[in-house]
Structure 1
Amino acid sequence: MKLLNTYRNRGLALAAACLLLGLASCKKESELLNPAPETSILDVTAFETPDRVLGLVNGMYTKVKDPQFYGGKYVMYGDFRGEEFINRTANIFTGYDTWSHTLNSSSNEVQNLWIAAYGAINACNVFLQGLADNNSKVAPALAKQYEGEAKFLRALSYFSLVTLYAKPYVADNGASPGLPLRLKAEVSSANNDLARSKVADVYAQIIKDLDEAEALLPLTLGSDLLNTTRAHRNSAIALKTRVYLNMGNMSKVIEESKKIVSDVAPFKALTGVAHQLQDDIKVVFNSNYTTTESVFSMPMTELNSATGQNALGFIFNAAPIGNSEYSVNPSGIMGNAEFKTTDARRSFLVTSGTATFLRKYNKPSPYTDYVPVIRYSEVLLNYAEALAKTGDMEKSRVLLAAVHRRSDPTYTFPEAKISTQDALIASILLERRIEFLGEGLRSNDLLRNLETIPAKGSSSLTAPAVPSTSPSYIFPLPNAEILTNRLL
């Protein structure tokens, strides 16, 4: 059993647990807390019935929703690395090393996220192989849908990894070392050794998966809940706008955006799920997690949520909801003059004592706030940025205004903020800081533009600025992978 202490077997055990969790999904949810040994991954009955196959599909989503991945920590790290939050506790278990840029190959953040994300990837690979081997067990339309969902989740997982552990695509058109590109179902440690593919190759696989997912997925899934928490055609398209934006391929961002954004206001998706902005952004976070604005989210329930130090509400909120781990930086976007007091997004900022905290995630323990992965407002701002960078200033301004004026209807952008291409792009990037505060997008926005990560801090704790040339600009490879993969 010595091998079970290595990274690869830990990842395989996670994938095995995923399959067991999926098979148990038709049972009481509390039973999902008891994973089976690794050998369950080879159970010939796993794909025996349509219900069991659906259980395996649900298991893939469960793996992506791991507390160390999209259930909590990955989203946190995207904000901790930027300048919008102040660390208050120096707690290494709540991301202090990420916030302070003091990570090394043995840091908890570096190792746990890698293991969780590759566990999700292998769960997708195992499912795809099993589905191909048992295609007759479900109806052809469902088989196509499930294949599309697995490829969407694999693409999301690889994108999350490559944007943290590898140099930005735009630094050298993807020529830098990327990730070990694991696309086969692994049920043992035999294939631990795998060289890193280039960043460009990883992105090519992500786009391939999303293109195929778009073709395989249904237009809708039949309910607001499923349209929010499971992948459909527009989910794949929306994620492609994010991926192409990272690649600096603005023409493709525009091409994909046009599929799900109408030509004129009010902007909405005219096919598939009828995505559009919710009139009141507070509803998106406080009372209805399944509006048409929520393209894809991680659902949380009392029996299936990130808890304690892995929960967004615990980290960002003040007592009694949270633990006051991170307050909003008064020198960050909160203090920017363009973030007006009349802006409804100010309602997410709550003062406690001398500090201000984010209350987008406002449910107390057991923290059942949904975790937003893609919102329609991001698609609109991705589109606006691509248009601005390719010279279509007029439509870019209209899209930017649609997002901002949803929350501040009386606001008009000063001419100096939108009259030139550089000014307009800066305003769009500023809008993203306001709109997605606490949603994990800030680190990626800095890196994809090769911007220096700004310094931040308080009188007691500080973090330095990190230029794009610094090794700290990205996460190091985890020590567990280095020790078990001889081809790195």
Structure 2
Amino acid sequence: MKKTIFTIVGILALNLFNSCSDDILDLKPPYEETLDDAIKTENDVNKFLLGSYLKTSSSSLYGANFFYFGDLLGDTFFRSNKHNGGFTSLVIMNYDPNNTGEISFYRSAYDAIQNTGFVINNELEDTQLNKQYKGEARFLRAINYFNLLNYYASSPKSGQFQELGVPIAGYPYNADNKIARSSVADVYKLIIEDLNYAIENTNAVPSSKIYASKTAAKLLLSRVYLTRQNQGDAQLAFNLSNEIVNNSPASFAPITNDKYENYFASNNDELAENQPETVWELDLNSQNNPGVNLSLSVFYSRTGSKKGLLAKESFYKTFESTDARRVLLTNQSVPTEDNPKGYWMKKFERASSGGNYTRNNKILRFSEAYLNRIEALYQLGNNTEALLKLNEFALSRKGNTYTGANLLSDILTERNKEFFGEGQRFLDLKRYNLPIAKGTNCPGNCDVPAGSKYFVFPYSNSQLIINELAVQHPLWK
């Protein structure tokens, strides 16, 4: 059932908007002059919407790279000395304006944003269905802008260079227009407007978790507020996450420990996909998946062709022996060349009943609502309640409890235990303007201070040549 919906529009979406340009802001959509002819019905709108989902699931976005980056730049995973699986510039943080080849998602994110524009700006009657499509497109636009901000701008908590966010691409696109960076505040304003529209207009219970929903928009918006941290944002984040925990439709619910391992590691799609724990996942199938060279399992699984990403021993030791999540780390056949040795992760296994590399990638999970609520309580200064809820969550996974002596560290530790391998660790540290202390198994840049340039990806020199308004981030000048 789930492995068919994007294949019809895949070729259309990829052919319409591919370009050899190095800079999305220098693009003119080939279809621009006849777009009115292309969108005549709501079915046409849906085709462009499915193309937007397809682009967001590409290997340079949520098909793979958004997971890698959050792990490789953090302090939990390392690349084995025995295996060279690539991403060297990320592993040792030696990227710079002359060396951005492994950072490939900037263009892809704007491709996805470009595609959502055709849905968001269609001029058909605003029926309930058309507004639903626009809501899903605005959700996709918001998550892509949010990720661009997270990696190409300084965090709001740092107080650094908030005048330089990322460009807000206009519509319709014009190849003659060069677009400067908008401020961080202006990009957040657009993201929040998009997600509020999505909350109002997407389905409460979609036919599948591969579609954006009201709950998905609420969960993402709570994360946005926790990251922006303007006055009043913590309360808004609490309200949204508390609403999800207490009043979600029955199809959204936390996973129980007895199902935790199968949810990630089973090769049976019926046990792993479209589950209540999943708030939003991206459809991967035999026609639409990163495949043997780029999929998550290629790098994380002990049977992957480019295997070599391992969790650190020190991280493994943070788990109680009873913790339900520890079973997703294994020392079976780990390389002996590493000192200390690491642990393979089983969250992204290679095979599923749909075939190799076709397991849907889980982007938003219900458990995050609990942890976002705890984080919001901390930001509100309600430390007693935050610690109580944190220990309740840890005990629900049969894990260890916390003293609260360093409550923020405790919260981020529990988040790491829940979301390791899911691309969040680096962003958790950046959100609070914290340093990265990589410790063992580190080949370079092992201690990254708060506010370092390595928390912000640079524009490539070629991009600066193409678009004279694409100002380099000051940390890289």
TM-score, length of structure 1 as denominator length = 0.82
The structural deviation recorded for 1:108 is 4.7
8 Å contact from structure 1 (residues 219, 273) kept in 2:
no
Classify 1:238/1:471 alpha carbon distance in 2 versus 1 (closer, same or farther; 3 Å).
Answer: same
Are 2:179 and 1:194 equivalent residues in the alignment?
yes
- Structure 1 counterpart of 2:80, one-letter code: R
Aligned to 1:232: 213
What is the total number of aligned residue pairs between the two structures?
438
Q: How does 1:374-453 map to 2 (within 5 A)?
A: 374-408=364-398, 411=399, 413-414=401-402, 417-418=403-404, 420=405, 423-453=406-436
Residues 435-486 of structure 1, C-alpha deviation per residue, up to 9 Å, x if partnerless? 1100000111111111112234538x34432112322221111334312111
- The CA distance in 1 between the partners of 2:302 and 2:6, in whole Å, is 37
Aligned to 2:144: 157
Aligned to 1:207: 192
Aligned to 1:343: 323
8 Å contact from structure 1 (residues 269, 276) kept in 2:
no
Aligned to 2:133: 146
Residues 244-288 of structure 1, C-alpha deviation per residue, up to 9 Å, x if partnerless? 1111248434434434536xxxx8341446532111322432322
- Structure 2 counterpart of 1:270, one-letter code: N
- The CA distance in 1 between the partners of 2:292 and 2:59, in whole Å, is 10
Residues 100-153 of structure 1, C-alpha deviation per residue, up to 9 Å, x if partnerless? 111122435565211101111111123222x2x2x13xx701111111111111
- The CA distance in 1 between the partners of 2:105 and 2:225, in whole Å, is 24
Are 2:96 and 1:100 equivalent residues in the alignment?
no
Q: What secondary structure sits across from 2:15 in the alignment?
A: coil
Are 2:273 and 1:318 equivalent residues in the alignment?
no
The structural deviation recorded for 1:53 is 2.1
CA-atom RMSD in angstroms: 2.8
- The CA distance in 1 between the partners of 2:440 and 2:112, in whole Å, is 34
Aligned to 1:218: 203
Residues 288-333 of structure 1, C-alpha deviation per residue, up to 9 Å, x if partnerless? 22222211111211221112332111111112x45322111223x2
- The CA distance in 2 between the partners of 1:89 and 1:51, in whole Å, is 51
- Structure 2 counterpart of 1:46, one-letter code: A
8 Å contact from structure 1 (residues 177, 196) kept in 2:
yes
Q: More deviation in 229-238 or 99-108? A: 99-108
Q: What secondary structure sits across from 2:53 in the alignment?
A: helix
8 Å contact from structure 1 (residues 453, 466) kept in 2:
yes
Q: More deviation in 30-39 or 232-241? A: 30-39
Aligned to 2:15: 35
- The CA distance in 2 between the partners of 1:110 and 1:127, in whole Å, is 30
Structure 2 unpaired stretches of 5+: 18-28, 337-341, 471-477
8 Å contact from structure 1 (residues 314, 322) kept in 2:
yes
Classify 1:181/1:216 alpha carbon distance in 2 versus 1 (closer, same or farther; 3 Å).
Answer: same
Q: More deviation in 382-391 or 281-290? A: 281-290
Classify 1:484/1:259 alpha carbon distance in 2 versus 1 (closer, same or farther; 3 Å).
Answer: same
Q: What secondary structure sits across from 2:280 in the alignment?
A: strand
TM-score, length of structure 2 as denominator length = 0.84
- The CA distance in 1 between the partners of 2:143 and 2:430, in whole Å, is 18
Q: What secondary structure sits across from 1:126 in the alignment?
A: helix
Classify 1:174/1:205 alpha carbon distance in 2 versus 1 (closer, same or farther; 3 Å).
Answer: farther
- Structure 2 counterpart of 1:433, one-letter code: N
- The CA distance in 1 between the partners of 2:343 and 2:440, in whole Å, is 14
The structural deviation recorded for 1:397 is 3.1
- The CA distance in 2 between the partners of 1:91 and 1:487, in whole Å, is 41
8 Å contact from structure 1 (residues 233, 272) kept in 2:
no
Classify 1:44/1:198 alpha carbon distance in 2 versus 1 (closer, same or farther; 3 Å).
Answer: closer
Q: What secondary structure sits across from 1:197 in the alignment?
A: coil
The structural deviation recorded for 1:40 is 3.7
- The CA distance in 1 between the partners of 2:155 and 2:54, in whole Å, is 28
Classify 1:58/1:484 alpha carbon distance in 2 versus 1 (closer, same or farther; 3 Å).
Answer: same
Q: What secondary structure sits across from 1:121 in the alignment?
A: helix
Q: What secondary structure sits across from 2:362 in the alignment?
A: strand
1:248 to 193, 213, 229: 229
8 Å contact from structure 1 (residues 105, 111) kept in 2:
no
- The CA distance in 2 between the partners of 1:283 and 1:202, in whole Å, is 38
- The CA distance in 1 between the partners of 2:7 and 2:373, in whole Å, is 43
Q: What secondary structure sits across from 1:255 in the alignment?
A: helix
- The CA distance in 1 between the partners of 2:349 and 2:263, in whole Å, is 12
Structure 1 unpaired stretches of 5+: 1-23
Q: What secondary structure sits across from 2:343 in the alignment?
A: strand
